[in-house]
Structure 1
Amino acid sequence: MAGIGELPVPGNAYTPVHNPVVVVGPQFVAPYPIDLVLSKKLFKLGEGHFDITDVNGTQIFTLRNKFFSIRDRRTLLDACGSPLLTLQQKILTAHRRWQVYRGESTNPKDLIFSAKKSSLIQFKTELNVFLAQNSSESAYDFKVKGSWLERSCTVHIGNSNTVIGQMHKKHSIQSIVFDKDTFAITAYPHVDYAFIVALVIILYEINEDRNGED
């Protein structure tokens, strides 16, 4: 049975994970690859939000900006408009750390994961991702690697070659025309696609930040 934006998988294009990757919730895990399109919508003030749809244009998530916030804050809404995640940049940190909480909370007890640049100076942005229970952060749980200029990145489990998701510039459906603020996202089989979407959003926010001082 077809799922959200399910496309044919050629050969062994996706290496199956040994165990399902569940970070946000099991309802966002499917036994087939999930293909989504993330596109930015502008408001009159120059701010905006992101729509996340399947390849048929059905709304899956919406990313809402928090206007006039002291620190950068975004809210990811589910298809019904209910707050699913709050993404907030931690101030006064050297590596541009973003923290992701459940619902509209920013209480430490509701922290799900955090992501930060792996080093201060990078030619290609890499993110180290830590689950909330990994308080020591002696090793990262996931890694985002890629080239933002090429609009391409992959998400890996820890320090391994196991890829669980990707952002890519081109899509197999030829009718979709991509611009610089539209991205194709694929979550691999048995991988939490809400988690992959949140990582791509953080990568976008870090690379769009023109400050460049932290």
Structure 2
Amino acid sequence: MMRRVHSTASPEDRPFPAANDGEIAEKANTLTVWKKSLLFNCRGFTVFDGKGKLVFRVDKYDTDHRDEIVLMDAAGTPLLAMRKKKLSLGDQWQVFDGEPRRSGVSPKPIYCVKKKASLLHPRTLAHVYSGSCKTFLYVVHDAYIRRSCQVVDASGKVVAEVRAKESGASGVSYRDVFQLMVQPDLDPSLPMALVLLLDQMFPSKWSPVL
């Protein structure tokens, strides 16, 4: 069973919870994330389910706005759009439903994600709040640069996890291909959106990891 965290501290400051790897692997939906666009001359991500079916894609040209990312389904329909919040303290992003309209009325965000890496909490990567940025929802722990991190809700339950994907008998894993494991009661588009934002907050060049 997953160990729940009981503490008088606020959810954001709770320690990193230990999780039962076997239970996560048994129940979770496992996606394979490839840090590459299927389109020529385009950067992005391509995501497949356990049967090899395309489920998510991100395609960004070099001329695209760097502070905006759109997560699409296999058909190219926008699911979630992320925009970096201007004039804010630290690295902060807003997540919108679909592609934000560029006309007069500004859409309201459904999530707010803040980078929280610090010397005081070195394993804390980001906090996820409701759209108003007041209600805490999730904390992201550990090390995205090693493709090893977990998304934990306010009760201490691990709802999603990023894991390095090993290649062959050599045990070499690559940062450009990894696994995203999501508990079945959570829409996988949100954890995938968090992966995209972690990639912005903690960028790294491609390299194999032993």
Normalising to structure 2: TM-score of the pair? 0.71
Task: Quote how far apart the aligned CAs of 1:71 are.
Answer: 4.6
Task: Say whether the 8 Å CA contact 1:95–1:120 is kept in structure 2.
Answer: no
Aligned-partner Cα distance in 2 for 1:66–1:112: 26
Q: Please say if 1:118 is aligned against 2:113.
A: no
The 2-side partners of 1:108 and 1:141 are apart by: 24
Provide the residue aligned with 1:21 in structure 2.
none
Q: 1:207 is aligned with what amino acid?
A: F
Among candidates 87, 95, 102, match of residue 92 of structure 1: 87
Bigger share in strand: 2
What residue ranges of structure 1 are gaps of 5+ in the alignment? Answer: 1-9, 16-31
Equivalent residues of 1:66, 1:74 under 8 A apart: no
Distance 1:90 1:209 in 2: 22
User: What is the CA distance between 1:14 and its match in structure 2?
Assistant: 3.9
Q: Work out whether 1:144 is the aligned partner of 2:140.
A: yes
Unaligned 5+ segments in structure 2 are 1-19, 206-210
CA pair 119-178 structure 1, distance change in 2 beyond 3 A: closer
Aligned length: 179
Over the residues paired in the alignment, what is the CA RMSD in angstroms? 3.3
What is the CA-CA distance between 1:129 and the residue it aligns to? 0.4
Q: Percent identity?
A: 26
Q: Could you tell me which residue of structure 2 aligns to residue 109 of structure 1? A: 107
Larger RCO, structures 1/2 (Cα 8 Å, 6+ apart): 1
Q: Are positions 1:13 and 2:23 aligned together?
A: yes
Give the secondary structure class of the aligned counterpart of 2:57: strand
Instruction: Report the 3-state secondary structure (helix = DSSP H, G, I; strand = E; otherwise coil) of the residue aligned with 2:160.
Output: strand
Partner of 1:22: none
Tell me the CA shift for residue 52 of structure 1: 0.8
Question: Residues 165 and 105 of structure 1: is their aligned pair in 2 closer, same or farther, counting only changes over 3 Å?
Answer: same
Distance 1:55 1:173, change over 3 A: farther
Note if 1:163 corresponds to 2:173: no
- Match of residue 76 from structure 2: 81
The 1-side partners of 2:118 and 2:141 are apart by 15
Match status 1:50 vs 2:60: no
